[in-house]
């Protein structure tokens, strides 16, 4: 299990400006918006490029520069979350290699909504949640919460790493998510 956090990758006032600039559409588990201006992505791109070599040999040698970056802003309201999943999607060529989450909210403005990595078992795609909240069909393992993020912190991890966002218990959690494919 690997991840890297870049503290203060985006200034707090820029986080606020980005959230205010978004027009959100309701989705199944949360609301989402397209990032309205690519200038907001510069600290994310810099962070992803600097973190890739730190996350393992298989990512260190990949060429990310010509790859398209996909990004969106997510709004998690009370009761919203994301079940156990990974960011690899069938049929994508090349598959996603790096994922990133940048916290746009002040952690005191919401409760719950913790980002959590699965720290054991297989990473078989399509696993259903079992009675303990972990993916079914996976060997027993401990779940591991990511370090507590502050507003503007950027969390970067391999896209194949299984993770979830626990349900928000109160308030609203805003994050920018980005996914990057390595060049073939």
Q: Rounded to an integer, what distance in angstroms lies between the CA atom of residue 149 and that of residue 169?
A: 17
In 3D space, the residue among 48, 16, 21, 49 whose CA is nearest the CA of residue 35 turns out to be 21
Question: pLDDT value at position 88?
Answer: 75
SS3 27: coil
At 49-99, the pLDDT tens digits run 788 777 776 666 666 654 556 788 999 999 999 999 888 765 666 566 788
Check if the beta carbon of residue 160 is closer than 8 Å to that of residue 59.
no
- Terminal CA-to-CA distance of the chain, rounded, Å? 25
User: Using 50, 70 and 90 to split pLDDT, how confident is the model at 14?
Assistant: very high
Residue with the bigger pLDDT between 167 and 43: it is 167
Question: pLDDT value at position 87?
Answer: 84
Q: Which helix (H) or strand (E) holds 17?
A: helix 12-21
| Cis? peptide before 141, omega within 30° of 0 | no
At 31-40, the pLDDT tens digits run 788 777 778 8
Question: pLDDT value at position 155?
Answer: 93
What dotted CATH number matches 4-123+134-181? 2.60.120.620
Supply the pTM of this predicted model: 0.80
pLDDT reading at 154 higher than 80: yes
User: Using 50, 70 and 90 to split pLDDT, how confident is the model at 109?
Assistant: very high
Question: Quick one: how far is CA 28 from the chain centroid?
Answer: 17
What is the Cα Rg of the chain in Å?
Answer: 16
Both structure tokens of 70: 């996909």
Q: Which residues, in sequence order, are CB contacts of 93 under 8 Å at separation 6+?
A: 184
Question: pLDDT value at position 89?
Answer: 66
pLDDT reading at 144 higher than 90: no
Question: pLDDT value at position 44?
Answer: 83
Question: Which of 60-69, 126-135, 174-183 has maximum average pLDDT?
Answer: 174-183
Average pLDDT score, the chain: 78
């Amino acid at each position: 299990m690997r991840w890297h956090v870049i503290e203060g990758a985006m200034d707090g006032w820029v986080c606020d400006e980005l959230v205010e600039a978004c027009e959100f559409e309701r989705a199944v588990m949360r609301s989402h918006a397209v990032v309205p201006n690519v200038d907001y992505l510069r600290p994310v791109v810099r962070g992803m490029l600097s973190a890739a070599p730190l996350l393992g040999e298989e990512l260190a040698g990949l060429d990310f520069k010509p790859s398209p970056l996909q990004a969106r802003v997510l709004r998690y309201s009370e009761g919203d979350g994301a079940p156990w999943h990974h960011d690899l999607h069938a049929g994508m060529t090349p598959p996603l290699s790096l994922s990133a989450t940048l916290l746009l909210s002040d952690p005191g403005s919401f409760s719950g909504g913790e980002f959590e990595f699965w720290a054991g078992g297989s990473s078989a795609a399509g696993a259903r949640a079992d009675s303990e909240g972990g993916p079914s069909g996976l060997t027993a393992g401990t779940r591991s919460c990511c370090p507590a993020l502050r507003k503007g912190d950027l969390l970067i991890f391999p896209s194949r790493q299984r993770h979830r966002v626990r349900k928000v218990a109160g308030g609203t959690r805003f994050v920018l998510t980005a996914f990057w494919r390595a060049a073939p």
